[in-house]
Structure 1
Amino acid sequence: MSSQEVVSPFVKSSFSGGGSANECVEVAHTADGGRAVRDSKNPGGGLQFYAPEGWAAFLDGVKGGAFGG
């Protein structure tokens, strides 16, 4: 099993809104416990893969306000 194998359905954030303002990313689990991310407006346009440690660091940054949001 490849670490970049997507093993769950892609899901969109509940914060993405609806209607024409529905610009968001979708995230799925990978075989190694990391995440695959794609553009919800262009799901066939490619994927970005994040190792488990990188995804955990990103979430810590979001929760800690590192991205100004």
Structure 2
Amino acid sequence: MNDLESIAGAIRKARKEAGITQADLADLAGTSERTVRAIETATGNPSLAAVVAIANAVGLRVAAS
């Protein structure tokens, strides 16, 4: 599994554990539901800022390794 898939899986898991929808997460992160969906499926080309905002909204932190 690559880094993008790991991040996608962690965000999806955290969102589901929090009991919120993709639309709810998009509202919390100030982005679109389409962007949330793209990040959770590791598709498209979302900005790093969007990934970080969405991760932060579910209590995750993105750090360089």
Same fold (TM over 0.5): no
Does 1 or 2 have the higher relative contact order (CA < 8 Å, sep 6+)?
2
Decide which structure has greater strand share: 1
